[in-house]
Amino acid sequence: MGYDMSKFSLEGKVALVTGASYGIGFAIATAFAAAGAKIAFNDRSQEAVDRGLASYKEAGIEAHGYVADVTDEEAVAGLVENIEKDLGTIDILVNNAGIIKRIPMLEMSAADFRQVIDVDLNGPFIVSKAVIPGMIAKGHGKIINICSMMSELGRETVSAYAAAKGGLKMLTRNICSEYGEANIQCNAIGPGYIATPQTAPLRERQPDGSRHPFDAFIVAKTPAARWGTPEDLQGPAVFLASDASDFVNGHVLYVDGGILAYIGKQPQ
Ligand code: NAP
Ligand code: GCO
């Protein structure tokens, strides 16, 4: 009655991580490579893809990089076709590419709101729709959507982002519902506050050298009393991408240091 630990292996699997030149996507892709997967990633510009390729090479990973905007259906169809030509059918998809615009709702234009929804919600729909047929043909597949604490909570200035990430939680559950029978598991990771370029504005030092008020706020709200790192997401991502999670479906795994469970430290 032992356990076959090879179920955590991604040996021989083809993984596409969107927007993975750096940040959370890059960390997840490097963990997948360590678990044996072949890595494909995309970004919006050749310059970003080239930067990413150099970073993967430096990490000893032979990744395959492609220029594709996740909101562009034609570009995404070409992306999937090229990956299938270069590496084979995609076994694992991580919908990681995303943007945020921190603007008070009454000051946010409809165009700005639409752009965030387009990248953070329509993008995962477009890429998943392009990848699922290959997974069905192959008889299995793993989709991991990168949600957020804002899939559960709101805060000032992130109306578009929270709406997108809340929608992405339900898209996760719907893909689970519609394609579970095809042996496709669709889950999500909900990172807490992670130190990446996306959150750099919330952590930068103040002119007087003091900590950003939001930085102190998040540390007080997090039982782990620290910001997360992209590396904190690697193990959970490998689990959800592996055979070890074959009966986990439609789940949002929050990797947040406990912030969603905690009312926050009482001000001293
Ligand atoms: P990041 O540092 O801003 O990186 C985002 C990546 O997505 C970049 O490579 C970016 O490329 C790419 N991207 C943006 N729009 C794209 C598009 N239309 N098509 C293709 N690629 C695109 O963000 P991150 O912090 O690593 O976050 C990654 C994911 O985790 C996002 O979905 C984010 O919402 C989510 N998340 C982040 C945190 C956090 O605290 N950092 C917490 C929860 C969830 P460019 O260089 O071209 O912009
Ligand atoms: C913000 C942050 C958050 C994080 C993350 C939290 O402005 O509140 O950017 O949205 O990015 O999504 O899970």
What pLDDT does residue 268 have?
A: 81
What pLDDT does residue 267 have?
A: 81
CA of 161 to the centre of ligand 1 (A): 12
User: What residue numbers bound the domain in which 80 lies?
Assistant: 8-194+227-257
Let me know if residue 215 belongs to a domain: no
pLDDT digits (tens, 9 = 90+) for 14-63: 999 999 999 999 999 999 999 999 999 999 999 999 999 999 999 999 99
The per-type count for the chain, helices as H runs and strands as E runs, is 8, 7
What pLDDT does residue 159 have?
A: 98
pLDDT digits (tens, 9 = 90+) for 90-137: 999 999 999 999 999 999 999 999 999 999 999 999 999 999 999 999
CA of 147 to the centre of ligand 1 (A): 11
**Annotated active-site residue in 66, 161, 193, 254:** 161
Nearest bound ligand to the CA of residue 162? 2
- Told to judge if 3 belongs to the known catalytic residues of this protein, a careful annotator would answer no
Let me know if residue 199 belongs to a domain: no
Mean pLDDT of 227-254: 98
Say yes or no to pLDDT of 254 above 90. Answer: yes
What pLDDT does residue 72 have?
A: 98
* Alpha-carbon torsion (107, 191, 182, 91), positive or negative: positive
What pLDDT does residue 17 have?
A: 99
pTM: 0.98
What pLDDT does residue 14 have?
A: 98
Nearest to 260, CA basis, from 218, 212, 199, 204: 218
Let me know if residue 203 belongs to a domain: no
Band (pLDDT 50/70/90 cuts) for residue 4 is very high
Is the minimum distance from the CB of 222 to ligand 2 under 6 angstroms? no
Backbone angles phi, psi at 206, to 5 degrees: -75, 160
Tell me if 112 sits within 8 A of 103, measured CB to CB.
yes
Supply the CATH number for residue 14's domain: 3.40.50.720
CA-closest residue to ligand 1 atom 1: 198
Look at the chain and report how many structural domains it folds into.
1
What pLDDT does residue 1 have?
A: 79
What pLDDT does residue 112 have?
A: 98
What pLDDT does residue 196 have?
A: 93
CA dihedral 118, 123, 63, 33 (to 10 degrees): 120
- % helix, strand, coil for the chain, step of 5: 50, 15, 35
Let me know if residue 219 belongs to a domain: no
Let me know if residue 122 belongs to a domain: yes
Let me know if residue 202 belongs to a domain: no
Let me know if residue 112 belongs to a domain: yes
Let me know if residue 217 belongs to a domain: no
pLDDT digits (tens, 9 = 90+) for 151-193: 999 999 999 999 999 999 999 999 999 999 999 999 999 999 9
Residue of 99, 105, 161 to test ligand 2 pocket, by largest number of atoms within 8 Å of CB: 161
Residue of 193, 214, 217, 232 to test ligand 2 pocket, by largest number of atoms within 8 Å of CB: 193
